[in-house]
A and B are shown apart, each in its own frame.
Chain A
Amino acid sequence: MTTKRIIIAVLASGLCGWGIWQTARGGLARTLDEYAARGRRDNVAAWVQTIAHVTDPKAAADRAVALLPNDAETYSALGDVCQSIADYRQAREAFARAVQLRPRDYYLWLVLGVMRDQNHDQEGALQALRQSVALAPSYAEPHWQLGNLLLRMDQVDQAFSELRQAAIGSPSLWPNVIDLAWGVYRHDAGAVARELRPETDIDHMALALFFVRNNQSAAAVDQFRQCRSIAGPVRNRAQSLLDMLLGAREFTLAYEVWARMKDLPLTSRTEVRDGGFEEAILVGQSGFGWQITPNVSNVTMSFDEGQHQSGKRSLRVDFRGNSSPTSPLLTQVLLVKPLTRYHVSVFALSQEFVSAADPIITLFDASDPKVTVLAQTLPLRSDPKVWREFAVDFTTNAETRAVTISLARQNCGDPCPAFGTLWLDSVSISNLTAASVAN
């Protein structure tokens, strides 16, 4: 009985000792891995380094592999360390061994594929990356790496199929995919759109913004048209698209975007929107409605229901001192036809206005980069309490697609103060050419 107990006790002690030894080896190897591959630098890591007699990450990773020679994690850490010191050959071997030990880990196949590619073994890389994709078909990174490899192997269609999958899994990759397609298809917007086949509204807008940044305004708006809804983040992107189209002087396309954002019907008719100042004006939002320059010193603008020439209110402009005379206070971009004669009319009322520079309405050719002046009204001064009409005719140039109607003061020196009040109402435009043809 006693002998039996002694044998059991010895066996149990041996088993415990073996277990403790294995656990200690495992713990030591893991800590060395963390020091080597993940930069662990605490007291425990320093103590383990001392025990293992290692001084640098590579030596630590090698020691960890020696301690646990059948552990995928230690080989993975060794691969990471070798990669960080640009020893790509040993990194590849380490990852290959890690894959042997843990063949169902997509990440190990992924890094093995990357390392094989780095060692100019494209076929081996292809095999590893395909395995990684098979193990994790919903993850973006394997698709991304496989797509890039296929692209470098000149398998363009397959490459973009994988790259699209990557972008679906991780939308932050979409700009990279667009950029690659743009280069591969040599800046052919139509081919890029056909290859990428964006599905979501966000993807359409990403492509639209890329196109407009690369001077492909028509292709950009074509992507915008394919959006199912202009809401949420799509709306912000649509506003960016609108701003860029206006900056590129693509007014007809910009109007299409603006009209859809505002749920307005598309029209080719030239008109002043809200010429009677009956609707609210959103400051700082570009488009085809009235634009008010914010924070102009000593000038305030408001709607005045007490004074109006038509409708229920007018725009009131109060001048209270020195301000930049030629800075536009109020503008609106109007779509027009080239080589066409137009008539612009505005009603104004002034009260106790005193300045060396009177307010005027100017019409600029918005399509012209030099923004040439097409016409200008007389100074907007009226008899007290009597609305006066100011009218001007102008003819657009051959390239004119839009004009800017602008309220500012006449040019004068600095300082150039102004005091008094001006009301504006009933701004309108009519096509004289069409009228004469009709007559």
Chain B
Amino acid sequence: MARFLFLFCGVLGALFAIEMLKPVQEAVIQPFTGLLAALSTAIILPFDDTVIAQGRILRDATTGFAVSIEAGCNGVEAAIVLIAGIVAFPAAIKHKIAAIIAGFFFVQALNIVRIISLFYLGQWNYTVFEWFHLYLWPVLIMLDVLVVFAIYLQWLGKNIPNPEPA
């Protein structure tokens, strides 16, 4: 347990420091955040053709309401927590890689739901939007991370067969 905690904190701190570096922000985080906005727009467009993506901004052409996806809203921090947990837990490298890819996908899938829901909540009621944006969605995203990690632990336990008794 001590080893896990030490590794978890170390990887978490290192990944956070890397994420904050200006070249990483410019080359990875900002384009990724733009991609999230574009993906959200692509999902909304078949149902609502008034939405447009401008870089990290999601805008409704009719009402003019817009949401900007900023640091802390792109799901990268939550993904970093999950990656730190997976890396710190003893398992085969191939299992870790598979878990990181699948986990990142699940976190980002929920994050896109969050972005889309906030886009419509903001147009409906700003107080509700603030509640969801500042308090509820961060908790739900962290719960998602916890669920994914719990599933990963169960999967690790079940996936590899027990050694045969002598």
A binds B: no
